[in-house]
Amino acid sequence: MPTTQPSIVDSHCHLDFPDFADDLPGVVQRARDAGVTRMVTICTRLRNEPQVRAIAERFEGVFYAAGTHPMSAAEEPMATVDALVDLSRHPKFVGIGETGLDYHYTADSAEVQKTSLRIHIAAAQETGLPLIIHARAADDDMAAILREGYRARPYSCVMHCFSSSPELARAALDLGFYLSMSGIAAFPKSQEIRDIFAAAPLERVLVETDAPYLAPPPFRGKRNEPAYTAHTARRGAEVFGLSYADFAAATSANFDRLFSKASIGVQA
């Protein structure tokens, strides 16, 4: 049966993670029942790309992206622009990443992370697909590298699961990039994050789960799943003073603009 919920998009989840291995059809169906009509499942290690691709091929409305997560950059073979460009030819491959910088746990691999990030930026520039950025405790380097790449050749980008500083948010927005709201923004003590989103243009905001992580209330501490996008989006609607339906429509339109390969009119 068609859903009666407003249609919304989970712009970032990890459906290949073991948390979903025994329940994947149910996870996708619950998402659809909640109005989450499209999902982007993210490959964080390129050697896992075949499994992630297979999930996207299996389910209507599920797309995928691939890259090397910064926390894995020192453990994995270095990505190449050519390899990422080759992957991008798949009709359901819609973004480059996630990539980025994470100095919270893996500051010792900072230089490797920077090299990997620049390769992913080059792939985004070459393919025209959006870059998907993970940023943690690395704001100054992140802003500098994003600007450096953009000056050389413009590209599009989303700051996934944004929970960094107002300064990094402004740097990203000034480049025309997008900020993605995760369950963190719905946590009671996350007013600073909500204020950052409230100051951003509505047309630059996406929503996501980062499932299986960061479940929003009332599921905090439990396994997150794409259906819960709706709970974060309801909090986002409050931040912008909108109805849930209007916020869902706005963020879905933003997704279509950024992830144009996954837009409703061209779904594979």
pLDDT of residue 265 exceeding 70, the answer is no
Cα 67 from chain centre: 12
pLDDT for 233: 97
Residue with tokens 């070459």: 126
- Average pLDDT value over all residues in the chain: 96
pLDDT at 264: 61
Instruction: Read off the pLDDT of residues 193-209 as tens digits, 9 standing for 90 and up.
Output: 999 999 999 999 999 99
Q: What confidence tier does 120 reach under pLDDT thresholds 50, 70, 90?
A: very high
End-to-end CA distance of the chain: 21
With 80 as the cut, is the pLDDT of residue 2 above it? no
As a whole number of angstroms, the distance between CA 54 and CA 51 comes to: 5
* Distance, CA of 218 to CA of 231 (rounded, Å): 8
Query: Order of strands across the sheet with 62-66?
Result: 8-13, 36-43, 62-66, 93-102, 131-136, 157-159, 178-181, 205-207
- Tens-digit pLDDT profile for residues 7-50: 999 999 999 999 999 999 999 999 999 999 999 999 999 999 99
Query: pLDDT per residue over 130-167, tens digit each?
Result: 999 999 999 999 999 999 999 999 999 999 999 999 99
Phi then psi for residue 267, to 5 deg, are -60, 135
What does the pLDDT average to over 47-69?
A: 98
> What's the pTM value of the predicted model, to 2 decimals?
0.96
Exposed/middle/buried for 126, CB within 10 Å: 0-12, 13-18, 19+? middle
Distance between CA atoms of residues 73 and 261, nearest Å: 27
pLDDT at residue 266 in the model = 47
- pLDDT value for 4: 76
What is the model's pLDDT at position 255?
98
Asked whether residue 110 carries a pLDDT value surpassing 60, the answer given is yes
* C-alpha–C-alpha distance, residues 112 and 72, integer Å: 10
